[in-house]
Structure 1
Amino acid sequence: MLVSTAQATAVVPPAILDIEASGFGLGSYPIEIGFVQPNGQTWCSLVKPQADWQHWDPNAATVHNITREQLQQSGRSPTEIVDVLNDRLRGMTVYSDAWAHDYTWLNRLYEAADRSPTFKLESLRALLSDSEAAAWHEVKRGVAIKSGLERHRASADARILQQTWMALRGSERAAA
């Protein structure tokens, strides 16, 4: 069977996960989690805080524009969220642009649900060449402007990260 040039050079984008949090540092916790799959499908949910999750940074809140009241009213339990994550991301390697933070928050979510992930979380940097990493922020800014996604929210951020990766790969092919 012959494969067309377009099929041979088709780039399958990575699955990307993003987490918004109550702030940074000790005591911070996930408040929204979202992902985009390689096929472009997205999923996102607010996280209902556990009783002992009290840390709240007003500076972080001005960035993500999510209130504790919204989390209480519309958030899903950690168990509901990890069930979806485990089902939809099973067996995948999923990438994050803020691995150290997202890994910690993801662990906090899974600990609250008393479950283990069925997928692996890796740093998005592992997918980038040095030249791609150097161009990342400029390309991402352009993708964000072009996409018109103004909310700093988990699934929108995940989509922008995936589109940035695709834009970098597209320009790499064009340069070859």
Structure 2
Amino acid sequence: MSQPVTLPTLLDIEASGFGRGSYPIEVGIARPDGSSCAFLIQPLEEWTHWDPKAELLHGISRARLEREGYPVRHVAQWLNDELHDIGTVYSDSWGYDNTWLSLLFHHAGMIPRFRLEALRRLLDERQMAIWSDVKEAMLEEGDIRRHRAGDDAKLLQLTYARTLKLSAED
């Protein structure tokens, strides 16, 4: 009898755009128990970069962030509270997500009490070979809203679990 798999905690960040001047606008996590959640982030005054193409992808307006977003410090504290005991969380876009996470914590005046790692560190060659196809199949099967942080984190976690299962069957 095989051991039940403990799912990794996945983190995803949506942003105002890419490159210089971009900042996090939503952060989401998928927890080991399979639940997920996300917080919109209230932009700071000095965060002015806004890419309309990014807004078309995630569907979140700056006005909505100003109205419904949580303060930077609140989101950083939530992440520390949620992730401290877990220790390591994973992202499929480590370069971007780590930059935006660092910016969030810098402006919150806090230090992350967890480590963000690249998701690919968890994947073996078989998983990596089937990742894209499995992810596309998961999107077709489910009602996951792409480019929203909580749903994208959940999609990554489900894809991880399915690729693990499929690669074990080989």
Q: TM-score, normalised by structure 1?
A: 0.93
Aligned length: 169
Which stretch of the first structure deviates more once superposed, 126-135 or 159-168?
126-135
Q: Any residues of structure 2 matched to 1:95-106 within 5 Å, and which?
A: 95-106=90-101
Q: 1:65 corresponds to which residue?
A: 59
**Whole-angstrom distance in 2 between the partners of 1:68 and 1:82:** 20
Question: Deviations for 1:125-146, whole angstroms, at most 9, x for unmatched residues?
Answer: 1111122112111110111111
Q: 1:159 corresponds to which residue?
A: 154
Q: 2:89 corresponds to which residue?
A: 94
Segments of 4+ moved more than 4 angstroms: none
Shift of 1:168: 0.5
State the one-letter code of the partner of 2:155.
I
**Whole-angstrom distance in 1 between the partners of 2:117 and 2:73:** 22
**Whole-angstrom distance in 2 between the partners of 1:94 and 1:132:** 18
SS at match of 1:156: helix
Q: Any residues of structure 2 matched to 1:133-152 within 5 Å, and which?
A: 133-152=128-147
**Whole-angstrom distance in 2 between the partners of 1:168 and 1:42:** 20
Which stretch of the first structure deviates more once superposed, 12-21 or 88-97?
88-97
**Whole-angstrom distance in 1 between the partners of 2:143 and 2:104:** 30
Aligned partner (choices 15, 20, 42) of residue 26 of structure 1: 20
Structure 2, unmatched stretches of 5+, are: none
Shift of 1:40: 1.4
Q: 2:164 corresponds to which residue?
A: 169
Higher gyration radius (CA)? 1
**Whole-angstrom distance in 1 between the partners of 2:64 and 2:146:** 16
